[in-house]
C-alpha cells in the first residue's frame, strides 16, 4: 500500500468555522491531489499540487485553499465551513502527470458540517 | 471536457453470478482508462488499467477491454464472491492529465 496518511479521519464542525485537513505521504511523489466524494458525483478534484509551493485549482475549488510547504505534506483548508462541504475527502498522490499514470489514494476524511 | 459515465447501481448479485458494470467515456485524444475499487471504510485502490485501444486490463479475476470504437471500458468478472462487495469507479486520464471519475457503482454479493 502507498504510504498516505490522512488526518483526521473523522471530523464534525460547525458552520462558519475554519477546518484544515492534512495529507502526509512517505512515497516522495511529486504530485498530490485533494478530491471530494459525494453520492452521484463520484470523485471531483478540488486542488492539486505539482511541487512544493506549486498548486492549482481543480473542478470544485471554490471555498477551499491548499498549501504545500514540504514534499510530503498537502493541507486542505476550508476557511469558513458550510453545510455543502459535508463530504468525504480523499488525498491522492502520483509520480507524474503522464496519461498512463495511476493515482494512489488515502483512506479518506469524513467531514460533517452542522 | 472529458467525462465518464457508469451504469447506475446498486447492483445485487448472488455468489458465483456473472458481473458486468458498464462504463463509457468522452475524451479527446487517447486517454488511459482505469477501474478503482473502494471497500467499506477505505480509500480507492487501483483494480486494473488499460493505456491504449484494444488493451485488456485484468486483476483478481476482473477484466476490462479498452474499446475505442464504442468508447467503452466495461468491467466483467465471471464468478463473483461475497468479498467482491464494494463500490467500483471507472476513471480516465486524458491529454490534459486530469483524472476524471464516474459516479461509482455499488455492488453487493449475497451468499
Tens-place pLDDT, residues B45-75: 999 999 999 999 999 999 999 999 999 999 9
Q: Determine the residue among A3, A43, A44, A90 to mutate to test chain B binding: the one whose Cβ has the most chain B Cβ atoms within 10 Å.
A: A43
- The answer to whether A35 and A45 are in contact (CB under 8 A) is yes
Distance from B3 to chain A by nearest Cα, in Å?
Answer: 11
Report pLDDT for B41.
84
Distance CA A32, CA A56 (A): 11
pLDDT per position as a tens digit, B20-40: 999 999 998 889 999 999 998
Sign of CA dihedral A63, A36, B41, A67: negative
Whether the Cβ atoms of residue A105 and residue A89 lie closer than 8 Å to each other: no
- The residue of chain A with its CA nearest to that of B34 is A102
Separation CA B85–CA B69 (nearest Å): 30
Residue A43 to residue B89, Cβ atoms within 8 A: yes
| Distances A107 to A90, B77, B99, B107 between C-alpha atoms, Å | 7, 26, 18, 20
A52 has a chain B CB within 8 A of its CB: no
Average pLDDT in chain A: 93
Out of A58, A90, A102, the one facing B34 most closely (by C-beta) is: A102
Contact B99, B92 (CB under 8 A): yes
Tens of pLDDT along A45-56? 999 999 999 999
Q: Does A43 touch chain B (CB under 8 A)?
A: yes
Which residues of chain B lie closer than 8 angstroms to A109, CB-CB?
A: none
Query: Are B58 and B48 spatial neighbours (Cβ–Cβ below 8 Å)?
Result: yes
| Residue A105 contacts B, CB cutoff 8 Å | yes
Q: Give me the percent of chain B exceeding a pLDDT of 70.
A: 100
Residue B59's contacts (CB-CB under 8 Å, 6 or more residues apart) are: B47, B48
Kindly tell me if the per-residue pLDDT of B10 is higher than 60: yes
**Beta-sheet strand order (sheet of A19-25):** A4-7, A19-25, A73-78, A64-70
pLDDT band at A1 (very low <50, low <70, confident <90, very high): low
Amino acid at each position: 500500500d502507498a504510504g498516505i496518511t490522512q488526518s483526521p479521519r473523522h471530523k464534525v464542525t460547525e458552520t462558519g468555522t475554519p477546518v484544515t485537513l492534512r495529507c502526509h505521504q512517505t512515497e516522495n511523489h511529486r504530485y498530490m491531489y485533494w478530491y471530494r466524494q459525494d453520492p452521484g458525483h463520484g470523485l471531483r478534484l478540488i486542488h492539486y499540487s505539482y511541487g512544493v509551493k506549486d498548486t492549482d485549482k481543480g473542478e470544485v475549488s471554490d471555498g477551499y485553499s491548499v498549501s504545500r510547504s514540504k514534499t510530503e505534506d498537502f493541507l486542505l483548508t476550508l476557511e469558513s465551513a458550510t453545510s455543502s462541504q459535508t463530504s468525504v475527502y480523499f488525498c491522492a498522490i502520483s509520480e507524474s502527470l503522464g496519461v498512463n499514470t495511476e493515482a494512489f489514494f488515502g483512506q479518506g476524511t469524513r467531514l460533517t458540517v452542522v | 471536457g472529458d467525462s465518464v459515465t457508469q451504469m447506475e447501481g446498486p447492483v445485487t448479485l448472488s455468489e458465483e453470478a456473472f458481473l458486468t458494470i458498464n462504463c463509457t467515456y468522452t475524451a479527446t485524444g487517447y486517454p488511459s482508462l482505469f477501474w478503482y475499487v473502494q471497500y467499506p471504510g477505505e480509500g480507492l485502490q487501483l483494480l486494473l488499467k488499460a493505456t491504449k485501444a484494444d488493451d485488456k486490463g485484468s486483476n483478481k479475476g476482473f477484466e476490462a477491454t479498452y474499446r475505442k470504437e464504442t468508447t467503452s471500458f466495461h468491467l466483467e468478472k465471471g464468478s463473483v464472491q461475497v468479498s467482491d462487495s464494494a463500490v467500483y469507479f471507472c476513471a480516465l486520464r486524458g491529454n490534459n492529465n486530469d483524472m476524471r471519475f464516474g459516479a461509482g457503482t455499488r455492488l453487493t454479493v449475497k451468499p
